[in-house]
Amino acid sequence: MKKPAKTCLVLHKKSCTRPEVKTAVKHVQQSGIDVDVYIPWTRKDLRRFVQRAIKNDAQRIVAGGGDGTLNAVVNAIIRGDTRPEASLGILPLGTANDFAKGAGIDAKDLASALELACTGSPTKIDVGRMNDQYFINVASAGFGAEVTATTPQDMKRLLGGIAYSIMGFVKVFQLEPYEGRLIRPDGAVKEGSMLIMAVGNGRFAGGGYEVAPQASLTDGLLDIAVVSGLLSEDLNRIVRELRDPMNPRNEYLLYRQLSAFTIETGKLLHVNLDGEPIKGTHFEFRCIPEVLSVVLGGAAARQ
């Protein structure tokens, strides 16, 4: 029986037949890299495989898929906020690949991306936690989460990130702001309305939009950006404020960097956690510093 490889590629089932994916796998194997490939059919199946691979001394788990697959792998690797023994590599195969974009990984060159994921030196990064689930990139809520949840899969596949923009403009005039409050660890409370919210460990979401422009993977903080009012009121002003999030004169944008906080809403809130849809009214956020070792690309690895 073949000894288990130290590197395991967890491949999303919808990507396994893509010719460029097969070419990338063949490239690394011909380069002498010993990698086991596994194609789970359910999130539960994925968790079992990852945990079994780590138990069998796998040193690196490569997530081959979109942000949702990446989220599932992260939640399988991290257990109890303790630093896992295995590091994480990324083969970006999704529609948006928002975390890979922020991490400097080229989604257009899959052979190079997979080689980097298997052989690159990892960097210790922070991971966010919302209630009992982890996220590596962004938790978006309200308008953005509904857009992601309701954009048809065929449109995502054909148009990529543009699909989110199209569905966004269709929905923007139909949405009502959420009423809620932000509770800091010291007990300070800020109440108000919210149309869009993003909690960023990474910077990009929704197909390449920089929703948390000040976010860093290694600062021990989560960036929370809340847009109040209606987007139809002054879209240009909102865009300008997003480009200058720390400006104290901002009218529509609330931007804070916190290690922990709680969000409560009066009605059910849509939250998109690294591509995974969740609903609720009470969300406890916390940054777990340097808990995961991840292979980053280019300048991101040097930050």
Tokens of 197: 């919210």
Catalytic center residues:
276
In this prediction, residue 170 carries a pLDDT of 44
Are 246 and 231 in contact by the 8 Å Cβ rule? The answer is no
pTM for the predicted model, two decimal places: 0.86
DSSP state of 177: P
Contacts of 77 (CB under 8 A, 6+ apart): 50, 54, 61, 84, 86, 88, 292
- Tens of pLDDT, residue by residue, the chain (303 residues): 456 679 999 999 988 889 999 999 999 999 999 999 999 999 999 999 999 999 999 999 999 999 999 999 999 999 877 788 899 999 999 988 999 999 999 999 999 999 999 999 999 999 999 999 999 999 988 765 655 555 555 544 544 554 444 445 445 545 567 889 999 999 999 998 887 889 999 999 877 888 898 999 999 999 999 888 665 556 678 778 877 888 989 988 899 999 999 999 988 888 989 988 888 999 999 999 999 999 999 756 545
Q: Which domains does the chain have, with CATH numbers?
A: 7-125+292-298 (3.40.50.10330), 135-289 (2.60.200.40)
DSSP state of 125: E
Evaluate the CA torsion angle 151, 67, 299, 33 in order and state its sign: negative
Phi, psi of 282 (to 5 degrees): -135, 120
H runs (alpha helix) in 83-223: 98-102, 110-119, 143-150, 153-159, 162-171
Q: Which residue has the tokens 């300008």?
A: 240
